Structure 1
Amino acid sequence: MRVCVILLFFLLAGCGGGNEEYKISGKSIGAEETENLFTVFIEDNLGGNELTSVRNSTFDAEAYEVEAYNVLVSEDTVIKVKETGEETAFRESGLGINVGQSVEVQVEGDFTPEKQGDRDGYIMRDRSFLPVYEAEEVLVAELEFENLHHYVVNNLLSSFGEGNLVLIVSEEGSEAWNDFRAQREHYHQELSAYGSGRKWIGVQEFPASSYESFNPPQEYDTYPVYLIYSGLGLVEMETEWDGVVEYFRENS
């Protein structure tokens, strides 16, 4: 009888200590070069499980450690929206762009957690030599408004260097859209007086159709809407261009 109890204990312990069904759980930071390969960030020694804004001038490559994985999506991979359980395609899922979506991946075969050091750069700029796993199933969270801010700061604002970016959200072909495209230089010149040195102000259009996929709150869903970003994220929203100019006049 004692032998049976001991055996039952080990069987239960073995069942309870097995691998989680979803072995990789973190944030998707999009695809870099290969369309069917995206990167999942788990954590690093700079921001824990939160992605941070890191400047090359302050980054210490020797001290940096990160846990992240490249995930390969094949024809057999099932991608589902976590909240609804509905299947979706890779292109529609948001996994191909860097929006910081929460994601869970069930991989093919065995999985070994691994932290890496001695890298050439921060994970947002260097994804080379990361472990690669093929996905059997991917659960991806629905896009939220915060994902838009992550995308702007890490993909659009970074190309402007230090400073601000004004995102003009409007419907393609609308009066506001066409006006900006016809007078792009005028918009930049109006704000140039409030930038200085390396901290300058960029202006860029953003289609409402893409914007709406991030589920903006009601106060942000009338067009045109002007979203003002710094390296920290969204700092102001205006419904009139004059309000944008006034913001920089007061904060320059």
Structure 2
Amino acid sequence: MKKTLVLLLCLLFLIVSCNSQERDDYDFEGITLGVHDLFNVLTVFVEDNLGGNEVILQGWDPSSFKDYEVEAYQVFLTKDTKIINEGSGEELQMVSRHEFFSGHSETVASTLLFHPYRKVAVKVEETFSSSVSSNRSNYIMYDRSFLPIYRAKEVRLFPLTFNDFVLTNTVHIQPDEISITAVYDPSTDNMNNYYFDYDKLWNSLISSQDPSAYVTFQTWEVPYFEQYHPPSEYQQYPIFFILNEDGLLYDTHDWDDAAEYVESVIDK
């Protein structure tokens, strides 16, 4: 029994040591803020003196920026940059601007590199030195100028989660806005039908409700959505997510149910 316990402890130690060594191979870890201005330059946020290592999406105070400091880097992606999927160990190929915006299904995993708020680890070509940018006049989400820039030797993509999906779909929601996000299977479903239903809902709302409350609508294809590893209860399609600036409010597989819920929220 004692021998078995010792062997298990040794195995655990080796696993932890290997993971620690693997992390140590990278120069920094952070959250991507997506591409900015240039398609092959990725902004990676590490931490700041407002939210620590978390990005503040809503409710920040502009007066806080008098002494704002942030550690963030511009990461230049080249044709030699290795992009590793942490979950599978697979090396992904960089996609061209055309492939990214045309949304070919075979490039789904790679294009998700450019989706904001994904956790990554970066190894750079140059000698790396951590640096805090001080005396900045605006939040990192709105001002990425004059950040240190490095060429990426390797970028490791950590697995996305369903919470990342909710965050991605919440960040641009304004106060008094309700957003409907529809996830559908393009092989069996027609996206245009949902836009037609949304138009009917919108026309009904503006004719009878407070115009200060408004509803937006967007769609996701299943291959993109499943990169966020949704729980099993969200893997029957179509599915409609109702969100506001605070996050996920409701989900349903039935459009009429989604429309009824939106109307009930706006009535309050």
TM-score w.r.t. length of structure 2: 0.75
- Summarize deviations over 1:83-140 as a string: whole Å, max 9, x none: 3322112343322221x12111111122121222333432122212111011111111
**Structure 1 unaligned spans of 5+:** 1-18
Look up the match of 1:13. none
What are the within-5 Å matches in structure 2 for residues 225-236 of structure 1? Answer: 225-236=239-250
Say whether the 8 Å CA contact 2:178–2:262 is kept in structure 1: no
Look up the match of 1:125. 142
Matched residue SS, 2:218: strand
Matched residue SS, 1:62: helix
Say whether the 8 Å CA contact 1:226–1:237 is kept in structure 2: yes
What are the within-5 Å matches in structure 2 for residues 214-233 of structure 1? Answer: 214-233=228-247
Look up the match of 2:58. 54
- The reply to whether residue 95 of structure 1 matches residue 113 of structure 2 is yes
Q: Give the superposed CA RMSD.
A: 2.5
Look up the match of 1:211. 225
Tell me which moved more, 82-91 or 186-195: 186-195
Q: What is the deviation of 1:25?
A: 0.7
Say whether the 8 Å CA contact 2:40–2:77 is kept in structure 1: yes
Distance 2:145 2:238 in 1: 40
| Corresponding pairs, count | 228
Distance 1:64 1:200 in 2: 34
- The reply to whether residue 141 of structure 1 matches residue 141 of structure 2 is no
Code of the aligned partner of 1:86:
E
Look up the match of 1:108. 125
Q: What is the deviation of 1:190?
A: 3.9
Code of the aligned partner of 2:232:
Q
Match of 2:31 among 22, 27, 30: 27
Matched residue SS, 2:233: helix
Say whether the 8 Å CA contact 2:175–2:245 is kept in structure 1: no
Say whether the 8 Å CA contact 2:201–2:259 is kept in structure 1: no
Match of 2:261 among 233, 247, 250: 247
**Structure 2 unaligned spans of 5+:** 1-22, 96-108
Percent identity between the aligned chains? Answer: 30
Distance 2:48 2:178 in 1: 27
- The reply to whether residue 169 of structure 1 matches residue 183 of structure 2 is yes
Distance 1:191 1:174 in 2: 29
Match of 1:73 among 60, 71, 77: 77
Say whether the 8 Å CA contact 2:178–2:216 is kept in structure 1: yes
Distance 2:38 2:138 in 1: 19
- The reply to whether residue 39 of structure 1 matches residue 43 of structure 2 is yes
Mark the CA change 1:77 to 1:231 in structure 2 (over 3 Å): closer, same or farther: same
Code of the aligned partner of 2:62:
F
Say whether the 8 Å CA contact 2:36–2:42 is kept in structure 1: yes
Distance 1:194 1:243 in 2: 18
Tell me which protein shows more helix as a share of its residues: 2
